[in-house]
Structure 1
Amino acid sequence: MRMRTLITSAALATALLGGSVAPAMAAPAAPAPAPAPVSAAPVPLMAAPAAANGPGVFITNGDRVHISSTPPRTASAHAWWTHISGPGTKAKVTIWLQMKSGRAWHSVAKNAKNLKSGNGGSARRVVARKKCSNSSKHQWRTKIDVDLIGVADSPEKAYTKPVTVKCGV
């Protein structure tokens, strides 16, 4: 979802910054020939490449909340980003661990780290953990934000799919 939005935003910004999409035409010196029939099909627009100072394309990713394999018993999740194209090489990745209480989601832990692009390996991810106070079942998810360092990007955040975990806080 974030990749599609960034591509759409880059194309829109290019069209807006580039001015009119139809070239100006001078008045004909001689009588104009009969007009060509009007086509009902839309005229395709050619999107120029994104500006050098745009965010490019990247993927925000994270795993589902789970019980950590290392003691003490904690709800745990990881977040990372993958560079596809554009100028960003490092990003501040922030992860919020959220537990559902009633109808609302509440952040119970937060962590952030500056990371190079990667595939989620231990050196290129950030972890959020919250110690379990009991083994009652609760819905958990994470909220993830990737902010490219030195590059303006969108304020969108990604959410992992909610899962039921035997961990209460």
Structure 2
Amino acid sequence: MTPSYSRSALVAALVSLAVWGVPASVSAAPVRSAEPVPGIAPPGADETAVYKDVDGRIIPQADLGRTATAQRFGCTPVSGRDNPHRSGTGVAASGHGWWDKGNCDNNRANVFNCLYEWYTDNSWVQKACSPTKELKPGGGSSNRTVARHDCTDTERTSWRNHVDVDVIGEIDTAEKPMNQADVNCRVR
């Protein structure tokens, strides 16, 4: 005796397979993972995430200063930065960079900062960098760098603001400290 199935039962079974997926043992085609999208960084992302430039190329850890050790000779400036935030001038993610002398002698440094947006493939993707500016120590609205990128929507997303300070005429340490914050700004 052959079992009979109603048309509605067959349609329901097909819809279920479409919604819940076909088991790997049944499927002949490989399952593709979803495209990475911006989102909120999970706890522990610091240890495993990669950094990418605006073209999607991986940025070596040494270029971020994360693997650099303090140099035997030289000075250590204090890299100033704020949390990434929505710009007061519109719907944009924004971050600033500045410096203080620390134990350095010179009173000028080349400073720049970059903004990175979190993506679900466990990466921080560079979205904007400020121009490099020669700054005196101390910060303030006219004595800092600004990285900014317009938002495509206001969905909450994790951002990082990395700052690089290169003291003019002195050897200094290579760290690029960062601040991280969740901001109502998403770039796709």
TM value normalised by structure 2? 0.58
Letter in 1 for 2:111: V
Decide which structure has greater strand share.
Answer: 1
Q: Whole-Å Cα distance in 2 between the matches of residues 86 and 140 of structure 1?
A: 30
Q: Whole-Å Cα distance in 1 between the matches of residues 177 and 154 of structure 2?
A: 27
Q: Whole-Å Cα distance in 1 between the matches of residues 104 and 156 of structure 2?
A: 42
Alignment of 1:146-157 (within 5 A): 146-157=165-176
2:142 is paired with a residue whose SS is helix
- Paired position in structure 2 for 1:134: 153
How many residues of Structure 1 are paired with residues of Structure 2 in the alignment? 118
Q: Whole-Å Cα distance in 2 between the matches of residues 94 and 110 of structure 1?
A: 7
What root-mean-square deviation, in Å, do the aligned CA atoms of Structure 1 and Structure 2 show?
1.8
Q: Per-residue deviation at 1:154?
A: 2.2
- Paired position in structure 1 for 2:164: 145
- Paired position in structure 2 for 1:99: 117
Q: Per-residue deviation at 1:155?
A: 2.0
**Uncovered stretches (5+) of structure 1, i.e. residues with no partner:** 14-53
**Uncovered stretches (5+) of structure 2, i.e. residues with no partner:** 1-68
Identity of aligned residues (%): 35
Alignment partner of 1:113 is 2:133: yes
Q: Per-residue deviation at 1:164?
A: 1.1
Q: Whole-Å Cα distance in 1 between the matches of residues 128 and 87 of structure 2?
A: 14
Q: Whole-Å Cα distance in 1 between the matches of residues 77 and 114 of structure 2?
A: 20
Alignment partner of 1:73 is 2:91: yes
> 1:83 pairs with 82, 86, 101, which one?
101
Q: Whole-Å Cα distance in 2 between the matches of residues 86 and 147 of structure 1?
A: 11
Q: Can you list the C-alpha shifts for 1:27-71, whole angstroms capped at 9, x where unaligned?
A: xxxxxxxxxxxxxxxxxxxxxxxxxxx3x342111000111111x
Letter in 2 for 1:100: W
Q: Whole-Å Cα distance in 1 between the matches of residues 77 and 162 of structure 2?
A: 17
Q: Whole-Å Cα distance in 1 between the matches of residues 147 and 134 of structure 2?
A: 14
Letter in 2 for 1:113: K
TM value normalised by structure 1? 0.64
Q: Whole-Å Cα distance in 1 between the matches of residues 174 and 113 of structure 2?
A: 14
Q: Whole-Å Cα distance in 2 between the matches of residues 121 and 93 of structure 1?
A: 14
